[in-house]
Every structure is written in structure tokens, then in C-alpha cells.
A and B are shown apart, each in its own frame.
Chain A
Amino acid sequence: KAGVTQTPRYLIKTRGQQVTLSCSPISGHRSVSWYQQTPGQGLQFLFEYFSETQRNKGNFPGRFSGRQFSNSRSEMNVSTLELGDSALYLCASSPRTMGNTEAFFGQGTRLTVV
């Protein structure tokens, strides 16, 4: 079974621009979560989508948004980029959103804002 695929792996953007990151979950998994990893704040939960609906949201500004498609693929968008948005963005897929479930992570997208 193929794992979680995130594209692109690396991205360089300029302050003020917007960016879209993509995540393809493991086949059959309907839950996709996004995390931001930075040296200062560590791993922080952004949001989770299940069956095209946002189920949980972390404490991030509205510039961070996401969506999920009918095939469970998910995209994350960051608008009006700031230098502090430079981070490794990780996507995780799970078969369920509740109960005994585990999250499988992709390799991440390294976003650098200059």
C-alpha cells in the first residue's frame, strides 16, 4: 500500500504570497490532518478533515485554511505569507477520526518564506 504523499517536498515563497500544499492519504483513509513543525513551537495541530468536512481546528489564524476532496485528498492553503510561516508542514492520514485509530505521516513539505 502506498504511504501518505505530500507535494511539493520543498517550496520557497516571498512574504505576502500565498501557497497551496497537497496531501494524498493512504488508500481507504478518510481522515487527513495537518501539522506545522517549527524549531520554536514544535509540532502543532492545524486542522483535520474527514469526509470533506473540517472536524477539528487548531489555534492558527484564518490565513491557514484547508479542504478535502471526495477522493480524500486534501490541500492546505496559507495566504499572505509571513516569515514565521517557514516550517515543515506534515500531513497525516487515518482510517477514522474517532476510536482506536493511528495517524500515518507523510514526508512533509518544507516551506521557506523569504
Chain B
Amino acid sequence: AQSVTQPDIHITVSEGASLELRCNYSYGATPYLFWYVQSPGQGLQLLLKYFSGDTLVQGIKGFEAEFKRSQSSFNLRKPSVHWSDAAEYFCAVASTGTASKLTFGTGTRLQVTL
């Protein structure tokens, strides 16, 4: 069965600093990978996705992620964090056969200090 691990429950960064959120997945074949962001009491917004091809994917709000098959990772990065980026971030995996069935990690809560 597929699974996702987000090892960091909570991360605090200063505004303007760089950010990297870790995500490791377990899946037999090439997975579909996603990063979502959730503000308190809100739904999930898709930041970026990886299906195939270029392993460095660009998303909205200045985020990017890199798929590393050898490390089973799909880490999310942003070069300069803004206070409005404070939220909870979820990594998710899906299979090609059931692409709309997502398995989520436990999430990383990002706090941004001014």
C-alpha cells in the first residue's frame, strides 16, 4: 500500500528565509505526487503536482518541488518565505490507476516569524 511520511510536524522560519518541507513516499511504481496547502478552517489548495518528466516542478506562490526517485522524496521548497505562507502543508501520493484517490501525509505546520 502506498504511504507518505512528512517527518516535520512543525517548522518555524523567519520571513525572507528559505524553506524546505520534507516528504517521503512509499509506492511500487512511479507515483503521482502533490503538495497541498491548507489555511485554518479551509479546504486544500493545490500548490504543485508531479506526474512524469522533468523532476523539478514549479507551482503557484513561488513554490517548487523536486522528485528524487532514488530517495523516494518530493521535497517542497521556497527561496523566500512570506508571512502569508503560514499554513499547514500536505504531501500526497496517488497511483496511475486510481489517480483521484489520494493518500496524504500527516502535514507540516509552518509558522513564519516577522
Footprint of B on A, CB under 8 Å? Answer: 4, 6, 31, 33, 35, 42-45, 48, 50, 55-56, 88, 90, 92, 94, 96-108, 110
The listed residue (A56, A90, A94, A100) touching B43 by CB distance below 8 A is A90
Q: Is chain A's binding surface mostly helix, strand, loop or mixed?
A: strand
* Chain B residues close to A by CB (< 8 Å): 32, 34, 36, 41-46, 49, 51-52, 90, 96-107
19 new A-B contacts at CB < 8 Å, known A44-B104, A103-B46, A108-B42: A33-B100, A42-B104, A45-B101, A48-B101, A56-B98, A56-B100, A88-B41, A92-B100, A96-B99, A96-B100, A97-B99, A98-B100, A100-B32, A102-B49, A105-B36, A105-B43, A106-B43, A108-B41, A110-B41
Query: Is there an interface contact between B96 and A104, defined as CB atoms closer than 8 Å?
Result: no
| Cβ contact of A100, chosen from B51, B90, B97, cutoff 8 A | B51
Inter-chain CA distance A50–B104, complex, in Å, is: 21
